Structure 1
Amino acid sequence: MKKRIVLVVTALTIVALLVGASAVMAAKPQNSGSGKDVIALSNGFPSGQHFNLNIHGKDPETFTCDATPGGKSVFVAEYGASTIQYVSNKKASVYDLTVLDPCAMPEPYGDGVAKVQLPYKVMVDGTPTPAGGYYVFARILAKPNNGKLEPASNIILYPNTVVEACNDTDPPNPGFGNYTECPEDPELMLGLVVGNNLYVPDPDEQVLRRFEDPTAKGKGKSKAVDITRLFVYTGWVVDATLDANDDGIIDINDVPVADYGEAMAGENRDYNNDGVEDEADVEAWLTDMAALDPAMAWYFANEWIFNIADLVITEQGLINDGTKLVQLRFYPVVTTTFGSHIVVVKDAPADTLGEVAFGFDPSYGSDFSLKHGETKDSGALEAGTYTLTEILPAGWDLGYIEFVDLDPSTTNVVTDETAEINLAPGETVRVIFHNVPAS
């Protein structure tokens, strides 16, 4: 039986990410087998091994949803809000995407929540192998708005948040792999407090549209778009035993009281001894907890969201406006090889009209310029090290450079206005240049 779980969040400041939309999954791999070259197909999907799921928009007044687990589909409201929970268990002997509950019909027709299990491992040449995460693509199909000549249908897909996470016990709980929810008995799992995954998505990036031209009428086709960025997590994950007041939040009230030095007299929570009890003390304390053996806190940056614990449940809201069918494909990282890409993003929110052009000098191609909100894809590159230098227009300074890099084996470096990007085979690194008016 599925259940909605109240999200436990830390009060820590978490790095904001620019992300796109997301969706759900289920069923059996297509084009199975490893080592295939991945090419871009005309419909926007890559080629190669993948799992499929169809998200069907239905009228809850006329559609009766069968809640039997299985199949390749989930059912959401044709108009309005629905929710999908995703669960992944590292210890599970599950190698296919599995629909646990296909029904996300809103009240009073249902509880508005579907649930789908995403396998942590996939079969590679007959051997269960960690998938390494997935590349996720989505595309709208079927006739919009029941085929009527009305504006293009669309669906807004919101970023994932973690609603529950736990780890297996030590020694291992032999039944842990069977769980699709964290057990309530603390003897059967190790509880965790997870921070809220804070995104700042561009509104246009959250919307999947039926047509290439949003103003088009009648039949039309849309191309698949990469929505992988929805499934990354940045922030702390903390052993629940550090939650001193057991309120489900890690904040200054959980920092141990002690005499940390001369900055504040007597016992206090000024962990970093700077004279102020604030979030900096929480960060310093958790950093020390992460250095323990065994660790009691873990910081993740741009991590595949289901890697942050042994069992993770996420929740994604969506708002549908007439979409009848969304097709999703999940490509295991371990069996998928793309050309490497550098995607440059310009962020200069003070330029409210988007009139200022910022120049860029890349080592991998010709110079180009971007205005606020624009992006530039390098195209397919060989793995290796590349540099990218921003050429500042008059009246502007570089605030900072941010990397969205899902490959922990590579590192990136910033020197003044130059970013050094180390690309692994098939990796895509987003480089976000944040600019501010000159002081």
Structure 2
Amino acid sequence: MAEEFATEEESNDRGPAPVTGSAKKAVSNPKAASKESGSANQTPQSNRSAVCASVTQEMMNDLVLFVVGAGIKLEPLETAIALPGMGDIAVRLALTITGAEFDLRAEDAGRVRVIVFADGDVSTRAEDFDGDVADVEVGAPAPSLAGMPVAPAPIPVRVEALVEPFIELHADSTVALGINLETAELVSLQTNPDAPVPDGIDAATWAGSLGMFSMLFGSLGDGLFAKLGEHVGVVGTELDEGVGAVLFQIGVASGRAQISVSSGLLTVGLPAAESVLGAAMAVPIAGKRVGLGLASSAVDALTQIIILRAAGDLPLPFELDLELGEQQVGSRIRNTRVLPDSFPDLRSALRTEVRTRLLRGRLELSVQAAWVELPSAVPSIFNVVSRKLGELVSLTPMRVRFPAKIELPIIPDSKDTIPVLIDDLRVTTDGLGLVVSLA
């Protein structure tokens, strides 16, 4: 049986329905919304999440391939070290990240274990105890400074560290995300023995070079990594205010997200403002999938944003309110209010209840009830009768099915999209949960 919905009269008794503002009022002016969102940081956060996303280790390792691409060059690090019997050595290390892997473990106290593979161009300037100075670069012939390692080619480096990821929504609507290397903990720094031998270099010579630099990294690893962390600082990016404006509109409060790490799973919860109804819950997932949870009022607000953008940001002549139930979505459609709030609301509304489910890879919407809701000035018995008649639709429900495959923009308002497949759909009174995978 579909869940009971409040009539207009009942709604007036208990206050406004979830996110009852019209689409025009909610998102007709993105700039104004951004300014209003600036006050969102004045509203204390609740202990709930407006948005909750979960991603598996397998999916993260697939997505990192798109991030790394052909390689990410870091700014060269220049530092000085002292080696026994060799004097002071000025080391210049230029790293190009060629790959990365995540290893999510519950015992890592909420931190992410990341393994980074890079090619290191090492050049040195050394002064021995006799005052002789020599410059050594990758591939250059070895000078007469006995014992100083010389790299015949860029050295493959393997770095394993524990890092704390962060996602933060600022009051100016920008979103910062990344990791802070300054607070990272080094697990190991060594050469990568699995890297292929470069062309034109003897395998025995290459193995000897790797062994030499592995010993060097082993003795200097902590200090070198600390200097690298200070040098690089934060590795991340900042999304523009368009992303943050949408997050504010759906009820996300400014501040840092709560990030938790369990075995093979990373979960991110964006804090909800106190005005948010419902709560976003973590969705169980496995394999190469992403789970997304939205609070009930966030679903309503996001729907209005999508409808308004589909209409070209033009004012809409109607209001659409959504209310979630157990595997069903209720809606109220009525014309935009013309009279001020001091006058009684004499608008009628079209009410519907739609059951949602996934069936053989397709999203099915089945109308379970449809009726006209009369204004509160009309005796409630008429709305009761109208509701009962509307439930007769469930005897021969109208069903509509859509492909469970959608194209999502990589970032809002971007023309670059990524195809995703909806693997699971859960609707409750608290919110909506989706499980998606790359199509």
TM normalised by structure 1 equals 0.20
Larger radius of gyration: 2
TM normalised by structure 2 equals 0.20
